[in-house]
Chain A
Amino acid sequence: MPGAGGGTGVRVTRAADGTVQIAVPAAPGPAFVRAVLDVAGAVLTWPVLGTAALPAAEVHDPGRAQQWLWAVYGERTAAAVHALAAVPPGVSVDVAPPESPESETALAGYAARLALGHWAARWWPASYTDGIPALEPDLLGMELAALTHRCQQLFDDPEDQPDGDPAELLETHQAALDSLVRWWQAARESASGPVRQLDGVLRLIDDAADCAGVAGDAVRRLRSALETGAPYDPRGSHELRTPLGLGSLFARSGGYALAAGERLVPGGRVIARGSGTNDWRRYPPGFVDPSESAVSWTVSAVGAGRVIEVEAVADVAAPVGGVRLAAEVRVEGGPPTLVSLARRGDVWAGRADLDVPASLPPRTRVEVGVLLPGFDPDPDPELDPEADTEPGPGPGTDGADGRADRDAVRALARHRLAAAALPEPQGTYPQPFPAPFLAEIVAAATADAGEDF
């Protein structure tokens, strides 16, 4: 595992709140560049954009954490955590880089992969506008179930660690199981595709289901397929050698033609227009297309009044009924005007009266951000400890709008998809860049197969 910990070792600190922190040099960043995992007695954090193979850890229960500390960080770090747990806060020690690669580094690698997979389920920037395909949630979920089982040493109580329960992932995502089995059978027959990875995932799923007592028809079919090795649907299998076959196997949310909604206010004289900020932190996954250009606004003069219209391109999977988003509009940093946005075709759209002069001066600063009411988080104290002594503007309007980080995440997604499109995407898990997930391989293959099927 070249470069694990960068050869710089780790610093272990007894913090003021009584936790023991293991810090691997890591750059801070907005929430969407952090991959987190709740494990026995600790929270692990990896920087998604960084190169650190080892996570940072906040250990709140050093006793329980001993079951995995040695296997992730090595014996010396485990001993340091044990020693620091008994001293007053404020003490730290530096531990030399982990010992030579042994079985322990395997756990660190799988844990990083598991955390990255959870991150992808939350923050993958699938965008019609940007041409970044979505990851099929059930397929990703099944691979995460397998990885969770592979990392079972990290967990000791599913009540405490929702990330540590393969059974729940299996039950939630078992819709993908039959398709996975068919893919595996076809890939084995044709000796193409990520056979080893599929094989590994399916065997782990079978073992996890057995361990946790998960039953069900799909699990039974998986078991018999693994036992006999015989395809249960020989006729269908040849199609799967083509990306088109993969696309039909993992049905995606179908056609999506970007069509602007009808203008809400016909007429009126447009006096200003622009694009808004698309801060991913202000709405849940799958609501707004994460493209930088997804949010746009127009100010028109209608009679004696001014009206602002806001549109946000909807995510392919966005809910259609009931839910409303909101746009927060500020002119020259003034108090916010809220515009309620409803789903209309492929956009979220809404309008509101705006209290601005009839002739808006050319360089007037109009800031528009979209959010889900009630979800919009407070500014992140880790980024800006001084912020928010007053209930102030949301994170989208504080200047540091995170665009550079969002671009970096898009670049990461494109990079990973390119790697997933290579003919032999399987293999070992090269650090610090975990190999493609099956869902990424399918996404890359079906995107390449053309946008026109």
Chain B
Amino acid sequence: MVIDRAWRGLGARSGLESLSGPGGAPLTRTVKLIVLPLIIRPALRPELAADFLGAGETAQLDSLMRESGALLHATAQWFTVLKKTRRALGITAGNPQDLYFQRCFELATEHGPPAASAGADTVARSVVEDIADAGGGRTVEALKEYLDDADRRTRLDARLAAAWDTRWAVPNADAGESAFHLAAEVLDAVARPGSGTDVGTDAGSSACSAMLAAGHGSRLGQAVRTGTDGVWGRADLPAHLGLSAHPVPNRPEVGHGASTATLPAPFDRTLFERLFTVLQASAHREELPAVPELVRREVGRSCAPLGLYDESLRVAVVLGGRLAVGLDPLGLDQRGHHPLGPGETEPGRTAAHRIVNSRWQREASVLRARRMTVSSRPDPDGGQLSALAQDLRTPWVAYMRRLWVRLHGRDVRDAALPDAASAWTVLDGVARSVMMDHRARVRTALRALSTSTATARVAAAHEPRSA
């Protein structure tokens, strides 16, 4: 709000239109990508990090904004120039705000406002082109080309075979139960309402450190490899929780093609498919190693416990699994239907479960209002919709797949999860994504049902991608 007022103060002279929304407020991305990280910089000025500022801080923020007024005006002008250049070059990929905002700020800092005399057009052109191939050859096409070489594929296959047969030094593998309880302790502590810097987080962190120290992530990997049952407090769930279609995953192949529509379960993916998903996600591409190095490391990674190198990420799989087996998107438990069947004790719910499950309850109500329901009662004639409802009865499968892909992406970029709080941020984010995935699938299924009509309209986007 303070930012909004300060912004409008600057904008009275106008010239900030390209960074403002239709009502004159700054665009959400202007705040997120420019004002907060580049002008207010709460990391340097913790007093400005709060949601609510006192009078002194408000004045400080206001003066920061005013000092940056000329810079912001120049940024706005650069943005207009870059958008024009982008159009002229026929570039359409990506959101221009995401791609250019920070660069525009840099250009404004370096050059001031764009001036034709100073060759602004040339600068703009090189920036736009630069950003367009920021991936620096880390693309699916490059991967395909690299793996098209038959000799190379043979060599990689031999290395995969050798890596798969290497025995892991796993500390005392028979410790599933203590992992199960420690994970619950972490989940209960990190997600408690109001847990910020208090005791709850400490308890979560120490349980999390204990899991890390005991190598519980690697132990789960061992259980997956040996097909140990009962890891998740239920005899009927495999240790891998649906991360493989087989009781015990097979050695990964090299592979040379992939399609988002037909990707197998994560542990059954080829080397190509694993890297394909990484390269598909365009964010952070510049942080990736070059393709040959990417492939070399994936050989070892794909044969490592849980397909991940970093133990903190493996522990996150244990935490995620513990959360996933207690998920109840249909509210069956609340309504007296024990999802685990009568007579079985359900895995004790934690604060994290309460948060995620109550979110599903709200989602159910929102989906009703959106006229996008699926019947939780099995219906043999329900087709695709019934299949989606069935997926909600085994929520851990979708959850674990989403989680693994995210952790794998982190592993490739060497982004470990240093503590319980950061792990919870990922776990919570995955829970939201799974919910949104469900919503998107219901929408697609309903569109497919409605488009066998005379007034059929083309369903938009969400085309599966392949290579």
Which residues does A use to contact B, with CB under 8 Å?
14, 17-19, 31-32, 34-36, 38, 40, 43, 45, 58, 60, 62-63, 66-67, 70-71, 75, 78-79, 82, 86-89, 103, 106-107, 118-119, 122-123, 137-138, 149-150, 152-153, 155-156, 159-160, 162, 167-168, 171-172, 175, 204, 207, 210-213, 215, 253, 280-281, 284-287, 317-324, 326, 340, 372-378, 380-382, 388-389, 391
Contact A319 B450 (CB under 8 A): yes
Contact B366 A38 (CB under 8 A): yes
CB-nearest residue of chain B to A138: B457
Contact A319 B449 (CB under 8 A): yes
- List, in ascending order, chain A residues with CB within 8 A of B366's CB: 36, 38, 43
Task: With A123-B371, A284-B446 as known contacts, state yes or no: A159 contacts B21, CB within 8 Å.
Answer: no
Name which of B62-70, B90-98, B168-176 contacts chain A.
Answer: B90-98
Interface assignment of B370: CB less than 8 Å from any CB of chain A:
yes
- List, in ascending order, chain A residues with CB within 8 A of B23's CB: 103, 106-107, 150, 153
- List, in ascending order, chain A residues with CB within 8 A of B335's CB: 381, 388-389
Task: With A18-B355, A31-B369, A374-B389 as known contacts, state yes or no: A43 contacts B449, CB within 8 Å.
Answer: no
Contact A17 B358 (CB under 8 A): yes
- List, in ascending order, chain B residues with CB within 8 A of A212's CB: 95-97
A141 to B375, CA, bound (A): 28
| Interface 1/0 per residue, B446-467 and A, CB below 8 Å | 1001111111010011000000
Interface assignment of B344: CB less than 8 Å from any CB of chain A:
no
- List, in ascending order, chain A residues with CB within 8 A of B361's CB: 381
A175 to B455, CA, bound (A): 13
Interface assignment of B22: CB less than 8 Å from any CB of chain A:
yes
Which residue of B51, B86, B375 contacts A63 across the interface (Cβ within 8 Å)? B51
CB-nearest residue of chain B to A377: B373
Contact A34 B336 (CB under 8 A): no
Contact B379 A373 (CB under 8 A): yes
Task: With A71-B1, A319-B452, A320-B453 as known contacts, state yes or no: A160 contacts B370, CB within 8 Å.
Answer: no
Interfacial residues of chain B within 415-467, with CB under 8 A of chain A in the complex: 432-433, 436, 439-440, 446, 449-455, 457, 460-461
Nearest 7 CB-CB pairings of A with B: A374-B382, A374-B385, A377-B373, A31-B368, A373-B381, A17-B358, A18-B193
Contact B362 A137 (CB under 8 A): no
A71 to B455, CA, bound (A): 40
- List, in ascending order, chain A residues with CB within 8 A of B450's CB: 284, 286-287, 317, 319
Which residue of A70, A280, A377 contacts B1 across the interface (Cβ within 8 Å)? A70
* Shortest Cβ distance from residue B441 to the other chain A in the assembled complex, whole angstroms: 12
What are 30 A-B contacts defined by CB distance under 8 Å?
A: A17-B358, A31-B369, A32-B371, A35-B369, A38-B366, A43-B362, A60-B359, A63-B51, A67-B28, A75-B1, A118-B370, A122-B371, A149-B21, A150-B23, A153-B25, A155-B28, A160-B432, A160-B436, A162-B440, A207-B22, A212-B97, A213-B96, A287-B450, A319-B451, A320-B453, A340-B381, A373-B375, A373-B383, A374-B382, A389-B336
Contact B460 A168 (CB under 8 A): yes
Most buried by B among A45, A67, A89, A375: A375
Which residue of A31, A43, A137 contacts B457 across the interface (Cβ within 8 Å)? A137
CB-nearest residue of chain B to A45: B369
Contact A319 B373 (CB under 8 A): no
A318 to B376, CA, bound (A): 24
- List, in ascending order, chain A residues with CB within 8 A of B372's CB: 284
CB-nearest residue of chain A to B196: A86
Contact A66 B51 (CB under 8 A): yes
CB-nearest residue of chain A to B355: A18
Known: A89-B193, A389-B336. 15 other contacts (CB 8 A): A34-B369, A86-B196, A107-B23, A119-B369, A123-B371, A152-B27, A152-B28, A168-B460, A215-B87, A280-B371, A284-B446, A286-B453, A319-B450, A321-B452, A374-B379
- List, in ascending order, chain A residues with CB within 8 A of B460's CB: 168, 171-172
A32 to B369, CA, bound (A): 6
Interface assignment of B206: CB less than 8 Å from any CB of chain A:
no
> What class of interface size applies to chain B in its complex with A?
35 or more
Which residue of B24, B28, B52, B83 contacts A79 across the interface (Cβ within 8 Å)? B52
Task: With A18-B193, A168-B461 as known contacts, state yes or no: A284 contacts B22, CB within 8 Å.
Answer: no
Which residue of B4, B95, B386, B453 contacts A373 across the interface (Cβ within 8 Å)? B386
CB-nearest residue of chain B to A147: B22
CB-nearest residue of chain B to A382: B365
Interface assignment of B374: CB less than 8 Å from any CB of chain A:
yes
CB-nearest residue of chain B to A163: B370
* Shortest Cβ distance from residue B202 to the other chain A in the assembled complex, whole angstroms: 18
- List, in ascending order, chain B residues with CB within 8 A of A119's CB: 369
A34 to B369, CA, bound (A): 6
Contact B436 A162 (CB under 8 A): yes
Interface assignment of B183: CB less than 8 Å from any CB of chain A:
no
CB-nearest residue of chain A to B453: A319
- List, in ascending order, chain B residues with CB within 8 A of A156's CB: 28, 32
A71 to B5, CA, bound (A): 11
* Shortest Cβ distance from residue A75 to the other chain B in the assembled complex, whole angstroms: 7
Contact B22 A149 (CB under 8 A): yes
- List, in ascending order, chain B residues with CB within 8 A of A66's CB: 1, 51
Interface assignment of B348: CB less than 8 Å from any CB of chain A:
no
Interface assignment of B31: CB less than 8 Å from any CB of chain A:
yes
Contact A378 B432 (CB under 8 A): no
Contact B370 A122 (CB under 8 A): yes
Most buried by B among A19, A122, A374, A377: A374
A376 to B196, CA, bound (A): 42
- List, in ascending order, chain B residues with CB within 8 A of A389's CB: 335-336
- List, in ascending order, chain B residues with CB within 8 A of A172's CB: 460-461
A389 to B365, CA, bound (A): 18
- List, in ascending order, chain A residues with CB within 8 A of B385's CB: 372-375
A32 to B383, CA, bound (A): 25
A118 to B370, CA, bound (A): 8
Interface assignment of B331: CB less than 8 Å from any CB of chain A:
yes
Interface assignment of B167: CB less than 8 Å from any CB of chain A:
no
Contact A318 B193 (CB under 8 A): no
Which residue of B83, B369, B452, B461 contacts A36 across the interface (Cβ within 8 Å)? B369
A119 to B366, CA, bound (A): 12
A373 to B379, CA, bound (A): 6
Contact B377 A211 (CB under 8 A): no
Contact A285 B194 (CB under 8 A): no
Contact B439 A372 (CB under 8 A): no
A374 to B451, CA, bound (A): 17
A82 to B451, CA, bound (A): 45
CB-nearest residue of chain B to A252: B455
A388 to B375, CA, bound (A): 13
Interfacial residues of chain B within 345-369, with CB under 8 A of chain A in the complex: 354-355, 358-359, 361-362, 365-366, 368-369
Contact B375 A375 (CB under 8 A): yes
Contact A150 B1 (CB under 8 A): no
Contact B369 A381 (CB under 8 A): no
A153 to B92, CA, bound (A): 24
A200 to B446, CA, bound (A): 32
- List, in ascending order, chain B residues with CB within 8 A of A89's CB: 193
